[in-house]
Structure 1
Amino acid sequence: MKKKIQLISKNQNNNLISVSRGYAFNYLIPTQKAEIPTKKQIKHMEMFQAIQKEKEKTQTKKLKETQEKLQSIGKISLYKKTGENKIIFGSVTDKDINQWITKNTNINTNKIKIKINNIKKIGKDELIVQLKQETLEKLQVNIIPINI
């Protein structure tokens, strides 16, 4: 059975790694790619990992709250000026959707990506709101004309 030794890897954000003794003493330590940790360093790293886990928990909690708020919206109604043949002056952009969401739900839309089709006509359409890579929400957009 080969013995393993714990080292602090300088390449992997100071993570603890377990490698064989020969690899550690013949390669990693002389090339300064790793160092032997002290008890204080191990305790500090464990504390840092606990803080990271806590941050991740709060982020997932906030993500769930914003996802619930987005699910409660259902439909977004935007008023746009129109010309002939029910064509909008300009188009509906993600900036318009962001403004509507922040105005009506008080959600911080800095980290929200909105995937929207090119909407240039009055009527209903769908858009996708992406909070993270895994979480997608579909919302309906209702474009209502304003007479000039």
Structure 2
Amino acid sequence: MKKKVDVILIQNNLTIGKRGSVINVARGYAFNYLIPNKIAEIATNKKIKHIQMFENIAIQQKETSNIEIKLLKDNIQKIDSISIYKKKGENNFIFGSITEKDITKWINKYTNLLINKIQIKTLEIKLIGVTHMKIQINPKVNISIPLKIIPTNI
């Protein structure tokens, strides 16, 4: 009789391992604790194959996501600067302010890139001149682009 059995974890467990991992444990531990408490289930060839299939899908999705992020980053880095025209007030102030929505419209109009306004990180802009803004593609990738606010005479 075997003393150990393979089980697949159904839940994350701090002492045993992550959900979906196959571990080799004692029969008594598996049948008296893990399986009745629905922490694990017996590992069969089909279940192991099923888990590996989902792991492969996750790896492929991560690779395609990385490729999309790289393409978006390359396209955004091609932008030299963003120029937005606003009506000038007193002391180099503009009427209103530049919002993330204005910047996303400019990027969509001139580059056909779809960027969510949540990805744009700017301070409140109310002066004419050049400031820098950041576009956050993902938590690890930030791109800084100069933002030129140009006064109009109208």
The one-character-per-residue Cα deviations of 1:6-41 (angstroms, maximum 9, x if unpaired) are 322222485123152143233111111210122111
Does 2:137 match 1:131?
yes
Structure 2 match to 1:90: 96
Deviations 1:33-66 (A, max 9, x none): 2101221111111112111111111110010001
Q: Does 1:61 align with 2:67?
A: yes
**Partner in structure 1 of residue 9 of structure 2:** 9
Quote the Cα distance in structure 2 between the aligned partners of 1:37 and 1:137.
46
Q: Distance in 2 between matches of 1:48 and 1:69?
A: 32
Give the drift of 1:110: 2.8
CA distance in 1, matches of 2:8, 2:69: 33
Amino acid paired to 1:8: I
Could you tell me which residue of structure 2 aligns to residue 31 of structure 1?
37
Q: Matched residues in 2 for 1:40 and 1:34: separation?
A: 15
1:99 maps onto 2:105 in alignment: yes
Name the aligned partner's letter for residue 139 of structure 2. Answer: Q
Q: Secondary structure at the match of 2:61?
A: helix
**Identity rate, percent:** 43
Structure 2-normalised TM-score?
0.85
**Cα distance in structure 2, aligned partners of 1:111 and 1:80:** 20
SS class of match (1:15) = coil
Mean Cα deviation higher: 50-59 or 19-28 = 19-28
User: Normalising by the residue count of structure 1, what TM-score does the alignment of the two structures yield?
Assistant: 0.88
Number of residue pairs matched by the alignment = 146
Superposition CA RMSD, Å: 2.0
Q: List gaps (5 residues or longer) in structure 2.
A: 13-17
1:96-127 CA-to-partner distances (Å, cap 9, x unmatched) read 11111111112121386111011101100001
- Report the Cα distance in structure 2 between the residues aligned to 1:107 and 1:4, rounded to whole angstroms: 55
Q: Distance in 2 between matches of 1:111 and 1:96?
A: 9
In the alignment, which residue of structure 1 is the partner of 2:150? 144
The answer (yes or no) to whether the contact 1:92–1:118 under 8 Å persists in 2 is yes
Shift in CA distance, 111/38, structure 1 to aligned 2, threshold 3 Å: farther
Change (3 A) 1:6 1:81: farther
